[in-house]
Structure 1
């Protein structure tokens, strides 16, 4: 049976289908009606098409077809005889024709592919069966295989492991287990391990008050090889320039935040003052870098020859200028300005201040702190937490590399570099964490020509949230390929301590918002009703109108994965004619 274009306006649609159907792929179809001139109406998947027959087929019967060629004209070969009314017999026959074992698991997988109208080839199915045998949870493994074929992923073990790990573990659990193990191995702490610990802590627990935050950064820094935060604090005069690294590390063994300036806090600068100094430095980045570079050149020149009094005064003036940009406290300015021009310490300070990587570190410290500063504004805090996760997790790692977007070292980047150098439990946990991130990435975006769906998973970082938070967005694409904020759908999947499983399904049409809450707890209605006036007012501020909130039991919850399959099927074969 060959597939012809019977009308000129169907040329574009035929081209679109040819991109989906590939040589060797198999799909089930039904001959719905026979026409004169050896033509027939054929149903393939969810689509009805017109075909010209070159094989004697019977109206009303189903057949398995294999793609022989998929270029300007698609050729389908009929596999075996017409199908019987018994699905199991048809599947067994197809497995035999493909030379594959007719086991219960293989039959169930193949039956699900056929029922969903998904095309597949023998090599793909053989690899899928091989992967299926690796997992005890066969049903879940089948879900992963079905998803891989639905989304046209290569049938590779790495992709299978990533998706399977994501479905069988919670991101927060995986991160927590890895974090605990890394802390146990602190004796063999490397720079990357220390940064990874800090990243995991930040993603799991969010940010805390300034005192705890500064202390956590200092303690994490003591485990690194280069101790960049220590060097930055030295460069701005918070730490005496002659303090050794070993003395610095020993200072923090018993340090706590219970007393900001007492014996438990070994600095004469409070954590809020440290944060202000860092903010001042970042705000005056260009000027401080320029002054530091100029001073370095002058000091290096001075070390080679005697300097005049005017040159010395000029150097002193520039140091005073830098100090004024950093500090409001007079004592700190004075401490910063006391130096011997030939002393190595002043050169180290200026080298740190002229180094761009110092400012990347400071920017990340300040940004992470600011995410937690809005804890009294839940909405803003939540949005910041999402941005924080996208920035540090590595969920956009490859895209950032491709587009040369400068980001701080992410969890994924650190895992990739650490796994080859690790072994034992650390290697196992790090691999699982990387697989989980890869699984999330693979499911983060699904799109067709006119439709887009995105998903974000945020670790359960707040008390009362028992599992990771999942958010899905779906809509037709705008002209620039993005989600349309005026016409879209947003779903929140929550597992709450008191209300248990809860799904919020938000539909937006012409900026009118309707919300359906899926929950089996009667208390949910009371909880939502209490916040409805605030929600209505907040939406109006953003030029949205709340049209209503309804409640349904969880048994009526939406099945997004099924909708994705339908999108796949409908976008694959629409309006195309075949020759069989």
Structure 2
């Protein structure tokens, strides 16, 4: 539902920007429109930039009350601003034309208006950006093209033809991720004598599409033979048998309680992985590393543990987030022991607690093994879905997708990270390598590569005071529809996501109840949930309320309220309140417990 998603996104981003934006962060070379509010001595002045004011040093005598186009010469606490056109009588249009003249550009009327609108909207840019915008507009002068270019500069994306093509082709594409993958796989299968890269790409696509699974193999082969416009229905038919036991009231099912048929399908290795998965605590890799390091140090020096070593463990346990996650797996008496140890780290308080901390940390998945583990767990989901709750099926699918797709491939290259010897090349890497090999499948490869690039560029927008994350997970659970996730987060003192203040939006197409939006708003760890749908779901939501309260309480959150609201015809009526917004989440259909 792209129209609904875009409408809500725009409202949320505007409201959060208004609510959280502090003084603007200026950079050298930036071009901006400012109004002189008051002149001071020593060439200082109070300048209005949009809705903010600051004190700046001017390089020329200017008139009070006039608006000028400035270039930032030096940033800092008191920036130095150089006026581009000193004429006090010139309007913004004339000053923009003067900027073009300095750059040696002869713009068209529409191009000049485009840049003027950006400047009036206080979109950050510098002279190099104006030159790049000129080239992009020159090559893509259509109305649709300028809309893509505006999105690029507004979101501060690189102003290159590659980025433009990625955004533009994705907007024009009518196919889902699954459809594109099926088309590419079909093209690869029709090409004999393939290279190693193309063979790897074919294997990767088969794995992602689950065409390499034994379940319903004949039906899966029928899918790839279906015409493209029938792909969604065929895929839904194929998956329906595998997810027939997933109902609206799905609940967590431990492997020991799974049906004999499902449990019998699992190998010893799979049962071990499922058992370990149930023992995972959702903390960051950094937190887990610090906890492991402190525990291992004490274990190696158990007879001669020093105060410094005990304090190291105390520091690893200081985080409220870590404490809450650990206490969920500790008996009440040991949870109290942990509180006493954190308050005053003494070895005697670890007698019973320490073995339990070792047990919990030893069961955690290590970063180097996560890719292989979640790939195997995803196979368990296909093979025996009732082993996991629907929520856990989603989490497994999401983690597997992010780790095998290669959405962070370029980041890993920039960080000089060596690939795990046991891991397979991610899909993004294989697509880039395959594009260099000429062949009849080039068009399909370019289409998928553009979609990946677009998703990478649009997933995270980092603003001075908040973080915006929006992404799409390919369809699952028998649905050809993807799930759109979006959240906004106020930054905490350490520039990280503030989990006490969250705003999460799920945009879903559900098989049972159709178009649905779930809005979760967290304020000081108090959660308010609003579900939008055409059908009145009040009774169903009331049934979920007790389990939702308990689940949130286990995570040290409190449920404030659960509301149903009808899906309005006008998306502007979906008013997102202008609170500080954030998110850290699990995405859910109504079939899933949040």
Query: Same fold judged by TM-score > 0.5?
Result: yes
How many angstroms does 1:62 deviate by?
Answer: 0.9
* Aligned pair partner of 1:57 in 58, 62, 76: 62
* Aligned pair partner of 1:374 in 382, 385, 393: 385
Cα distance in structure 1, aligned partners of 2:427 and 2:141: 29
**Contact 2:483 2:507 (C-alpha < 8 Å) held by counterparts:** yes
Residue number in structure 1 paired with 2:563 = 549
How many angstroms does 1:137 deviate by?
Answer: 5.1
- Against the structure 1 CA distance between its residues 212 and 127, is the aligned structure 2 distance closer, same or farther, given a 3 Å change threshold? same
* Aligned pair partner of 1:66 in 60, 71, 93: 71
* Aligned pair partner of 1:534 in 537, 544, 552: 544
Which aligned pairs between 1:134-213 and structure 2 lie closer than 5 A? 134-135=139-140, 138-139=143-144, 141-169=145-173, 170-185=176-191, 187-204=192-209, 211-212=215-216
Which aligned pairs between 1:246-257 and structure 2 lie closer than 5 A? none
Residue number in structure 2 paired with 1:385 = 397
**Contact 1:490 1:507 (C-alpha < 8 Å) held by counterparts:** yes
- Against the structure 1 CA distance between its residues 80 and 156, is the aligned structure 2 distance closer, same or farther, given a 3 Å change threshold? same
**Contact 1:394 1:410 (C-alpha < 8 Å) held by counterparts:** yes
How many angstroms does 1:195 deviate by?
Answer: 3.8
Cα distance in structure 1, aligned partners of 2:444 and 2:152: 24
Does residue 513 of structure 1 match 2:530? no
Cα distance in structure 1, aligned partners of 2:393 and 2:75: 51
- Against the structure 1 CA distance between its residues 137 and 491, is the aligned structure 2 distance closer, same or farther, given a 3 Å change threshold? farther
Does residue 435 of structure 1 match 2:441? no
**Contact 2:63 2:88 (C-alpha < 8 Å) held by counterparts:** no
How many angstroms does 1:412 deviate by?
Answer: 0.9
* Aligned pair partner of 2:470 in 433, 455, 461: 455
Which aligned pairs between 1:82-101 and structure 2 lie closer than 5 A? 91-92=96-97, 94-101=99-106
Residue number in structure 2 paired with 1:492 = 506
Residue number in structure 1 paired with 2:437 = 421
**Contact 1:203 1:461 (C-alpha < 8 Å) held by counterparts:** no
* Aligned pair partner of 2:38 in 33, 36, 59: 33
Higher relative contact order (CA 8 A, sep 6+): 1
Cα distance in structure 1, aligned partners of 2:510 and 2:265: 38
Match of 1:542, SS state, is helix
**Contact 1:465 1:494 (C-alpha < 8 Å) held by counterparts:** no
What count of residue pairs does the alignment treat as equivalent?
411
**Contact 2:169 2:447 (C-alpha < 8 Å) held by counterparts:** yes
- Against the structure 1 CA distance between its residues 380 and 80, is the aligned structure 2 distance closer, same or farther, given a 3 Å change threshold? same
**Contact 2:489 2:497 (C-alpha < 8 Å) held by counterparts:** yes
Cα distance in structure 2, aligned partners of 1:475 and 1:559: 14
Unaligned runs of at least 5 residues, structure 1: 1-15, 221-269, 284-358, 565-580
How many angstroms does 1:362 deviate by?
Answer: 8.2
TM-score by length of 1: 0.59
How many angstroms does 1:477 deviate by?
Answer: 3.4
How many angstroms does 1:163 deviate by?
Answer: 3.3
* Aligned pair partner of 1:119 in 95, 119, 124: 124
- Against the structure 1 CA distance between its residues 461 and 279, is the aligned structure 2 distance closer, same or farther, given a 3 Å change threshold? closer
- Against the structure 1 CA distance between its residues 215 and 438, is the aligned structure 2 distance closer, same or farther, given a 3 Å change threshold? same
Match of 1:49, SS state, is strand
Cα distance in structure 2, aligned partners of 1:72 and 1:35: 16
- CA displacement 1:300-325 (0-9 Å, x = unmatched): xxxxxxxxxxxxxxxxxxxxxxxxxx
Residue number in structure 1 paired with 2:291 = none
**Contact 2:486 2:506 (C-alpha < 8 Å) held by counterparts:** yes
Cα distance in structure 2, aligned partners of 1:513 and 1:120: 38
Residue number in structure 2 paired with 1:110 = 115
- Against the structure 1 CA distance between its residues 145 and 530, is the aligned structure 2 distance closer, same or farther, given a 3 Å change threshold? same
**Contact 1:27 1:65 (C-alpha < 8 Å) held by counterparts:** yes
Cα distance in structure 2, aligned partners of 1:69 and 1:461: 51
Match of 2:498, SS state, is coil
Deviates more, 1:389-398 or 1:92-101: 92-101
Cα distance in structure 2, aligned partners of 1:94 and 1:491: 41
- Against the structure 1 CA distance between its residues 56 and 178, is the aligned structure 2 distance closer, same or farther, given a 3 Å change threshold? same
Structure possessing the higher radius of gyration over alpha carbons: 1
Cα distance in structure 2, aligned partners of 1:133 and 1:174: 30
Cα distance in structure 2, aligned partners of 1:484 and 1:213: 45
Aligned alpha-carbon RMSD (Å): 4.4
**Contact 1:175 1:200 (C-alpha < 8 Å) held by counterparts:** yes
* Aligned pair partner of 1:79 in 81, 84, 94: 84
Deviates more, 1:390-399 or 1:152-161: 152-161
